[in-house]
Amino acid sequence: MSDHATLYGYYRSTAAYRVRIALGLKGLSADNKFIHLRKGEQTGPEYLKVNPAGLVPYWIDGSFHLAQSLAIIEYLDETHPEPPLLPGNAEQRAIAREIALTVASDIHPIGNLRVLNRLNQIGVDEPTRNAWSQHWIKLGFDAIEARLRELPGPFALGDRPTLADICIVPQVFNARRFGLDLAPYERIRGIDAASAKLEAFAAAEPGRQADAE
pLDDT per position as a tens digit, 117-130: 999 999 999 999 99
Residues 18, 25: Cα–Cα separation, whole Å: 11
CATH architecture of the domain with range 6-83 = 3-Layer(aba) Sandwich (3.40)
Residues 19, 57: Cα–Cα separation, whole Å: 8
Residues 24, 188: Cα–Cα separation, whole Å: 21
Question: CA nearest 72: which of 165, 166, 199, 194?
Answer: 166
Give the residues across from 59 on adjacent strands. Answer: 7, 66
pLDDT bin (cut points 50, 70, 90) of residue 2 is low
- Whole-model pTM: value is 0.96
Residues 211, 156: Cα–Cα separation, whole Å: 30
Query: Where in the chain is CATH 1.20.1050.10?
Result: 90-201
Listed in sequence order, the residues at least 6 apart from 49 whose beta carbon sits closer than 8 Å to its beta carbon are: none
- Averaged over 15-28, what is the pLDDT? 98
Query: Where in the chain is CATH 3.40.30.10?
Result: 6-83
**175: phi then psi, degrees, rounded to nearest 5:** -60, -40
Predicted local distance difference test score (pLDDT) of residue 176: 98
Give the residues across from 61 on adjacent strands. Answer: 64
The CATH fold of domain 90-201 = Glutathione S-transferase Yfyf (Class Pi); Chain A, domain 2 (1.20.1050)
Which pLDDT tens digit goes with each residue over 131-174?
Answer: 999 999 999 999 999 999 999 999 999 999 999 999 999 999 99
Question: CA nearest 14: which of 88, 73, 63, 81?
Answer: 73
Report the amino acid identity of residue 16. A
